[in-house]
Structure formats: structure tokens, C-alpha cells
């Protein structure tokens, strides 16, 4: 039988729960755990304490226990909107999207006042992940009705509108998101990007300059302003890459799912065409490994597999995913230059789009390869014109096929193959790219 607290103990119990929550927020997990253990010793079936203990287990990286504890709390007391929402978040991280959707729906059904806005925003994010843009729009509008000050709801609405090609409406919604949360890097950059898609470059430039005046040392804003003004540095700065991808690390994989991201599987397909059936006999480097999406696809060919990235956040996710023998935090060209003759294969999915001229990075790749070694990578494609490459408002470079071919040849590669691909979608449109593969010529 579940033990309940006497009324005289209720105030002390509530105060202890608040103290436990404060300890968790402060990062003092051991003290929070000791306090929650004492609370549950006095009241073993207390739903609030079980919920908090579940949150503690999540903070400790024990997610299976976390899900079980919050589930037990909800079995004892189903009418907990916040607990259902937290359970949904944990289930999303565990890859149980359908279960998460049900948890969020329960959160909404038990919500009071504007409490359901968070769960509705999470439902909208899941609908975005499935490419259900109209559903995402509908649910986002429900969240806004409940809580007009929700930056997340306005941001979700703006993305849903953009993916339906309703750019003007998207700009308005995104502007509200930015107004409510000016430090939201993703939302603020999206609204300016939408202005660029509308060819409102002067307004976009003005917003970037205003943002840079507020935050003078921000490398992301400086890079995007340069892109908008048509000033193309040789490559994206280390500061830009680190800041951008550290900020996206936690949501990166889910974001790419929404964009129908295919670059890793396209790279793996080219590797199969180059080397045939996997034999686990190659030294492979995943150049710009990000969260490690290429690892499970390339590992069958690898006797040894290294990963390299500038973002600590991305490398942490790659380590969690597994598949690598070693991971390095380093700028890519420098890293390859320190690995002479180390690899049989340099593979790179959507990393060289942060380089302008590919001369140095491909020369470094050639030096890092053993005789007859191979390189496989993707870049975004230019639509034509006289330029070799161009920095776009997205912050990424597009490359002409002729530039890719010339730089591969200059680095000593032969058997060059370049084919058109669609690595992902963006703003409701296919992104055009190149899949390049080549082998070192005999030396």
C-alpha cells in the first residue's frame, strides 16, 4: 500500500522537494540524491519525489531508470502535465518518437491554463521531424493561443510556414520569436535568412549589423554578415564552426531528419563503389565527423576509424554514438597535415561546404593518404556562372564542379567522379550538391 504523508508533514515535504529541485538546478546531484532518498524513505510512493528522482537519473546519464521512475510516478498520479512532458522529452532522446507523442498528448490533456503550451511545441517539433508541415503549423498555432509569449511556438510556426513556401508569413512569425528571445541564435538567423530568400538583402544586412553591434565578438554573425554582403573569406573561421555546431549539437540529428538528410548514405554508397564489399581492412578518417552519422555506415570497411571535428559538442555526441577508435578535436586541414600517409580513405559528408577554395584541404587529404588511397566527399553545387565557389547567405559555400575537379587533379588524384545529388531539403526546396570521389594517382 502506498504510504501517504500526514498533513502536519505536508509543508516540510513540499519544502524538501523544492530544495531537491534547487540542488539539481545548481548541479549538486549528490546532495539532491541524498535528499530525495530521505523523502522516498518517508513516503515510498510519493509521485512528485519519484518524478524528481527520474529527472535526477537523467542528469546522471541513467536514462532507462529515469524513464521507469517517471513512468511509475505517472501510474500513481496520472494528472501531471509537467511529468508527461518531461517523459516525452526523455522518450525523444531514446528514439521512441511514437511513445513520446503519446506522452506529449497526455501532457496537453492534463494541462491547466497555459501549461500545455510546452507539450504542444514539442508535438509541433515532432510533426516537423516527420515533414508534416501543415500539422506542425496547426499545433504551433494552438501553442501560441495558449501562450502568446512562447518564443519556441513562434519559431516552430515560422519553420512550418517556410517549408510550405510561405516566406513572408514565416518572416513575421520568426520576428516574433526573435523579439521574445533575442539570444536565440537559430531563430534570429532564420528570420534574416528568410529575408534573403525574399531578396531583401539590405534589410538582412541591417539586421546583421544591428546584431553584431549588440554582440561584437560573435563569429557566427560576422560570418553571416560577410556572406550577405558578398565578402567571402577563404573558409569559415574556426570560431564560426565551433560556435555554430556547439550550439546545435544537442538537436543536430533531429534537425537533419527534418531536412531529409542523405549525405552520409550517399558517401557510403560511393565508398562501396570505390572499394566493393566491406572487408574491415581500411584505415578510415571521417573528416568533419559531427555527431557521428557516418560511423555506422563506414565502419564495415574500417579496420581502424578516426573522427575529426572542431566542435566539442559534436564530438561528445559522436563518442556516445560509437563506432570510432579515436576522435580528435582539430581544424581539418591542420589535422590531415599531421597524419602523413596514415589513411586509406578520407570521407567527408557536408564538411567541405565550409571551405571556399578547396586547394589546401584536398592537398592535405592527399598527404594523409597511403598510395592509391581514396577520398569521398559532398559539397553544395553552384548553379553555374564564372566563379569557382560562392559563399551563400546560409553561411555555406557552393562549388562549381569544374573547381572540384581541378583541385582534385592538382592534389594528385585521378579516377575523379563527380555526380549531382540532393543531400537534403531546405526552406521547402531541394539543395543541389556534388558527390565527389577520387583515388590517388600512382606516384
Instruction: Reply yes or no on whether the pLDDT at 232 is more than 70.
Output: yes
pLDDT score at 88? 94
Identify the CA nearest to 371 among candidates 282, 442, 274.
442
Position 375 scores a pLDDT of 98
What mean pLDDT do residues 210-228 have?
A: 82
CA 71 to CA 94: how far, in whole Å? 14
> Cα separation of 115 and 74, whole Å?
17
The residue-averaged pLDDT of 147-154 equals 92
Q: What's the pLDDT score for residue 5?
A: 45
Confidence label for 258 from pLDDT (cuts 50, 70 and 90): low
Cβ partners under 8 Å of residue 241, min gap 6: 310, 311, 354
pLDDT band at residue 28 under the 50/70/90 scheme: confident
What's the fold here for domain 254-440?
Rossmann fold (3.40.50)
Secondary structure string (H, E, C) spanning 259-305: CCCCHHHHHHHHHHHHHCCCCCCEEEEEECCCCCCCHHHHHHHEEEE
The residue ranges of every structural domain in the chain are: 7-155, 161-167+176-247, 254-440
| Confidence tier at 2 by pLDDT (50, 70, 90) | very low
Mean pLDDT of 76-91: 93
The strand pairing partners of 307, in sequence order, are: 286, 327
Surface-to-core class of residue 6, CB atoms within 10 Å of its CB (0-12 exposed, 13-18 middle, 19+ buried)? exposed
Residue 122 has pLDDT above 90, yes or no: yes
pLDDT band for position 145 (cuts 50, 70, 90): very high
Could you tell me which residue, 52 or 355, shows the higher pLDDT? 355
> d(Cα 299, Cα 89) in Å, to the nearest integer?
30
Is residue 340 predicted with pLDDT exceeding 80? yes
Question: Can you give the pLDDT at residue 419?
Answer: 96
pLDDT tens for 353-373 read 999 999 999 999 999 999 999
pLDDT in the model for residue 55 = 86
Q: Mean pLDDT in the chain?
A: 87
Q: What pLDDT was estimated at residue 256? A: 54
pLDDT grade for 54, boundaries at 50, 70 and 90? confident
- pLDDT of amino acid 1: 38
What mean pLDDT comes out for the span 313-322? 88
Question: For 7-155, CATH number?
Answer: 1.25.40.10
Confidence at 211, pLDDT banded by 50, 70, 90: confident
Q: Does position 253 have pLDDT exceeding 90, yes or no?
A: no
Instruction: Quote the pTM value.
Output: 0.64
Most confidently modeled range among 143-147, 201-205, 384-388: 143-147
Best CA proximity match to 245, nearest among 335, 353, 94: 353
Q: Is the pLDDT of residue 6 over 50?
A: no
- In this structure, what C-alpha cell is assigned to residue 29? 546531484
Q: How far apart are CA 186 and CA 416, in angstroms?
A: 37
Q: For residues 409 and 258, which has the higher predicted lDDT (pLDDT)?
A: 409
Per residue in 162-204, pLDDT (tens digit) is 888 888 898 889 888 878 887 666 777 777 777 777 777 788 8
Confidence grade of residue 254 (pLDDT, cut at 50, 70, 90) = low
Using H for helix, E for strand and C for coil, what is the string for the chain?
A: CCCCCCHHHHHHHHHHHHHHHHHHHCCCHHHHHHHHHHHHHHCCCCHHHHHHHHHHHHHCCCHHHHHHHHHHHHHHCCCCHHHHHHHHHHHHHCCCHHHHHHHHHHHHHHCCCCCCHHHHHHHHHHHHHCCCHHHHHHHHHHHHHHCCCCHHHHHHHHHHHHHCCCHHHHHHHHHHHHHHCCCCHHHHHHHHHHHHHCCCHHHHHHHHHHHHHHCCCCHHHHHHHHHHHCCCCCECCHHHHHHHHHHHHHHHHHHHHHCCCCHHHHHHHHHHHHHCCCCCCEEEEEECCCCCCCHHHHHHHEEEEEEEECCHHHHHHHHHHCCCCEEEECCHHHHHHCCCCCEEEEEECCCHHHECCCHHHHHHHHHHEEEEEEEEEEEEECCCCCCCEEECCCCCEEECHHHHHHHHHHCCEEEEEEEEEEEEEECCEEEEEEEEEEEECCC
Query: Which is more confident, 382 or 141?
Result: 141
Q: What is the pLDDT of residue 4?
A: 46
Average pLDDT over residues 93-104: 91
Compute φ and ψ for 7, nearest 5 degrees.
-60, -30
Of the candidates 394, 388, 385, the residue with the CA atom closest to the CA atom of residue 431: 394
Mean pLDDT of 105-131: 92
Whole-angstrom CA distances from 190 to 134, 207, 333, 436 are 19, 12, 29, 29
Phi, psi of 46 (to 5 degrees): -70, 120
Q: CA-to-CA distance for 173 and 171, rounded, in angstroms?
A: 6
Q: Which of 138-142, 171-175, 223-227, 384-388 has the lowest mean pLDDT?
A: 384-388
Q: How far apart are CA 236 and CA 389, in angstroms?
A: 13
As given in the structure block, the three cell numbers for residue 371 are 598510395
The per-residue pLDDT for 8 is: 42
Q: What is the pLDDT of residue 257?
A: 54
Decide: helix, strand or coil at residue 127.
helix
Half-sphere exposure of 30 (CA within 13 A, CB side): 0
Which residues make Cβ contacts (< 8 Å) with residue 391, sequence separation at least 6?
A: 226, 227, 230, 231, 232, 233, 356, 397
Pairing of strands 413-426, 429-440: antiparallel
| More confident position, 211 or 8 | 211
Amino acid at each position: 500500500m502506498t504510504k501517504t504523508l500526514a498533513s502536519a508533514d505536508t509543508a516540510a515535504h513540499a519544502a524538501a522537494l523544492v530544495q531537491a529541485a534547487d540542488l539539481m538546478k545548481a548541479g549538486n546531484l549528490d546532495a539532491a540524491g541524498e535528499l530525495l532518498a530521505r523523502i522516498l524513505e518517508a513516503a515510498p510512493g510519493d509521485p512528485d519525489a519519484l518524478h524528481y528522482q527520474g529527472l535526477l537519473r537523467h542528469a546522471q546519464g541513467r536514462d532507462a531508470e529515469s524513464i521507469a521512475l517517471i513512468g511509475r510516478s505517472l501510474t500513481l498520479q496520472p494528472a501531471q502535465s509537467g511529468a508527461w512532458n518531461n517523459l516525452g522529452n526523455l522518450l525523444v532522446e531514446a528514439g521512441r518518437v511514437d511513445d513520446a507523442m503519446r506522452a506529449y498528448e497526455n501532457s496537453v490533456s492534463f494541462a491547466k491554463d497555459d501549461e500545455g503550451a510546452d507539450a504542444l511545441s514539442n508535438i509541433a517539433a515532432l510533426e516537423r521531424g516527420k515533414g508534416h508541415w501543415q500539422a506542425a503549423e496547426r499545433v504551433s498555432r494552438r501553442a501560441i493561443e495558449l501562450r502568446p509569449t512562447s518564443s519556441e511556438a513562434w519559431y516552430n510556426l515560422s519553420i512550418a510556414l517556410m517549408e510550405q513556401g510561405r516566406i513572408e508569413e514565416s518572416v513575421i512569425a520568426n520576428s516574433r520569436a526573435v523579439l521574445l528571445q533575442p539570444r536565440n541564435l537559430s531563430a534570429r538567423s532564420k528570420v534574416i535568412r528568410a529575408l534573403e530568400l525574399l531578396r531583401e538583402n539590405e534589410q538582412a544586412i541591417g539586421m546583421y549589423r544591428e546584431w553584431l553591434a549588440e554582440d561584437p565578438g560573435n563569429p557566427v554573425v560576422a560570418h553571416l554578415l560577410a556572406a550577405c554582403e558578398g565578402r567571402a573569406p577563404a573558409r569559415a573561421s574556426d570560431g564560426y564552426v565551433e560556435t555554430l555546431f556547439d550550439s546545435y549539437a544537442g538537436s543536430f540529428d533531429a534537425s537533419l531528419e527534418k531536412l531529409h538528410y542523405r549525405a552520409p548514405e550517399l558517401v557510403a554508397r560511393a565508398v562501396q563503389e570505390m572499394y566493393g564489399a566491406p572487408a574491415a581492412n581500411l584505415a578510415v578518417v571521417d573528416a568533419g565527423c559531427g555527431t557521428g552519422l557516418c560511423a555506422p555506415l563506414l565502419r564495415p570497411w574500417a579496420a581502424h576509424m578516426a573522427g575529426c571535428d572542431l566542435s566539442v559538442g559534436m564530438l561528445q555526441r559522436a563518442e556516445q554514438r560509437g563506432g570510432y577508435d579515436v576522435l580528435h578535436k582539430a581544424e581539418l586541414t591542420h589535422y590531415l597535415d599531421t597524419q602523413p600517409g596514415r589513411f586509406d580513405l578520407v570521407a567527408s559528408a557536408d564538411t567541405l561546404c565550409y571551405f571556399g577554395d578547396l586547394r589546401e584541404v584536398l592537398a592535405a587529404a592527399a598527404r594523409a593518404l597511403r598510395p592509391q588511397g581514396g577520398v569521398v566527399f559532398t559539397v553544395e553545387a553552384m548553379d553555374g556562372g564564372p566563379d569557382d565557389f560562392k559563399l551563400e547567405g546560409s553561411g555555406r559555400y557552393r562549388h562549381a564542379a569544374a573547381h572540384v575537379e581541378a583541385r582534385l587533379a592538382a592534389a594528385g588524384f585521378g579516377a575523379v567522379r563527380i555526380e549531382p545529388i540532393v543531400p537534403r531539403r531546405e526552406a521547402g526546396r531541394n539543395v543541389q550538391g556534388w558527390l565527389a570521389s577520387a583515388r590517388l594517382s600512382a606516384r
